[in-house]
Structure 1
Amino acid sequence: MTTPAPGSPELARLSLNQKTTQRWSVPEAVEGCVQRGIPAIGLWREHVAATGVEASARAVREAGLRVSSLCRGGFLTADDDTARREALDDNRRAIEEAATLGAECLVLVVGGLPKGSRDLDGARERVRASLEVLAPAAADHGVRLALEPLHPMYCADRAVLSTLGQALDFAEPYPPDVVGVAVDTFHIWWDPDVRAQILRAGPRIATFQVCDWLTPLPCDVLMGRGMMGDGHIDFAPLRDAVAAAGYTGDIEVEIFNDDVWDADPHAVLDTTARRYVERVLRA
């Protein structure tokens, strides 16, 4: 298949998650999206900080792009009071940034076990307690929090929420427009219950992110995401379940991969658009 032309109707819901073109600043990524005809972008806080929150918001607004998400908040599992206060303060700042940027959601990677700890239940309870503080703050700013379950291999160091079902249990006490969930194919494709949980999520789906699962995984498993079609994920059942759940928002391509990051970002965008149509929309 040839690369879809800029402005193609098939690209109407495509969003570039900024990590996919890690070397680009916010203005560069925005310009790349405009040139390639990608109508939305998922921003990362470190890139936004380097450009400035107001300048980033202005660049996106003037380009006419949507901000499908801001990554990331979270890391809420610290077991000492000082670290917990610092984490909550950082998340409050992230909420304010998401509001300024007009982001559809603030993605929360909730955090793993504190150093030396084996208390998984305690870490999860601290996430619950943190949500009791952050959900009202998000509602006050008109920001939606998106709890992202990560693959179980990240449970110790990044996310004590490992399944979509767990994330939904944590979101349930709050209105869906205040606390939702992120559905990321890389993290949930393996779960035999995932399609039922996607349907359960319904209006709580705040973002749908796609990339592929590669084997063998690199030594740094964080970098094991691949371009759609290069790995093992069957995207069609997940796409159809998300659609059946009522989600009509943007679909982000989020890839952590050294080879992708080292490639020409313009070529990466061309491949992203082509594989999105081939492997996600038409599969």
Structure 2
Amino acid sequence: MSELARLSINSETIKQWSLEELVAGCVEAGVPGVAPWREPVAAYGLQRAARLIRDAGLAVTSLCRGGFYTVAEPTARKAALDDNRRAIDEAAELNCPVLVLVSGGLGDQDRDLKGARIRVAEALAELAPYAGERGVTLAIEPLHPMFCSDRCVVSTLSQAIDLALPFPAEQVGVVVDTYHCWWEPDLEAQIRRAGETGRLALFQVADWITPLPEGVLLGRGQLGDGHVPLREIRRLVDATGHDGPVEVEIFNAGMRARDGAEVLAEVVQRYRDHLV
């Protein structure tokens, strides 16, 4: 098996590229998988995008993203759930097995964290059967606690697994993202638990650099530039029997300002150096 056989490039890693450029670049570099976000897919056209990727012989490893359904106001909540159904349909059209979910945070002056987390569970109960009928797994991504207020009230892998367990494993799983979970004191046990319960739907990688760049959202580090024991975490994931893609998802303003082909070549080399 090629050492790149499980590598996938998330479109946010080389956001300066169009979907067409990303597909062509991955084919040329021998990267077998891509993980587009919904926005570039919509800009290109859903059916056109599905055909483009399929004809290139690439796999779509995940679609980002669904979620953001912690809102309580009925009209806004209905709109969020409807948008998630559209995202599930888009994933199915792309022959993509995984829709990544970022739960959403708290509204202005909202302090009801418990209530927001309850609404996440309620949304999953409504969306999981719909996803299952379309062959798509909803993958709950816990985000680092610094994002709890504005983006994601699910902050640990344990919380994500707990939310997934009431549903069939093929309907709801979890994302292990090294950037968000590397710090967790019980990470090894939770990765093992995700594997034992069949919930490990997706493995994403990026590094944590210090100091964090201004604007934390774009502060993920290139593989090998920070503190995350990338190869060690991959070994934990592989030990569960998970043999799915290793998806590189790096939000980094500096990388986005560079030539896309240069960035892709560097990512491939860093993957070899730090994850293979």
TM-score (structure 2 length as normaliser)? 0.98
Query: Shift of residue 219 of structure 1?
Result: 2.2
Q: How many residues align?
A: 274
Q: Detail structure 1 runs of 4+ shifted over 3 Å in the superposition.
A: none
CA contact (8 A) 1:195 1:241 kept: yes
For residue 260 of structure 1, the aligned residue among 252, 255, 269 is: 255
Tell me the alpha carbon deviations over residues 52-85 of structure 1, each in whole angstroms, 9 at most, x when there is no partner.
1101000000000000000000001001001100
2:113 paired with 1:120: yes
**CA distance in structure 1 between the aligned counterparts of 2:185 and 2:231, rounded to whole angstroms:** 15
Deviations 1:80-135 (A, max 9, x none): 00110000000000000000001120000000012220000000000011011100
Alignment correspondent of 1:169? 162
Show the 5 A alignment for 1:1-283.
9-202=2-195, 203-281=198-276
Q: Which whole-Å CA distance do the structure 1 matches of 2:169 and 2:271 have between them?
A: 28
Query: SS of the counterpart of 2:213?
Result: coil
Letter in 2 for 1:186: Y
Residues in 1 aligned to 2:140 and 2:154: alpha-carbon distance in whole angstroms: 9
Whole-Å separation in 1 of the counterparts to 2:201 and 2:106: 26
Within 2, Cα distance between the matches of 1:194 and 1:109? 19
Once the two structures are TM-superposed, the CA of residue 236 in structure 1 deviates from its matched residue by 2.3
SS in 1 for 2:149: coil
1:79–1:114 Cα contact (<8 Å) kept? no
- AA matched with 2:58: L
Alpha-carbon distance in 2 for matches of 1:204, 1:27: 32
Asked if structure 1 preserves the Cα contact closer than 8 Å seen for 2:97 and 2:135, the reply is no
Q: Report the AA paired with residue 196 of structure 1.
A: A
Contact 1:25 1:47 in 2 (8 A): yes
CA contact (8 A) 1:105 1:143 kept: yes
SS of equivalent residue, structure 1 residue 209: strand
CA distance in 2, matches of 1:79, 1:220: 28
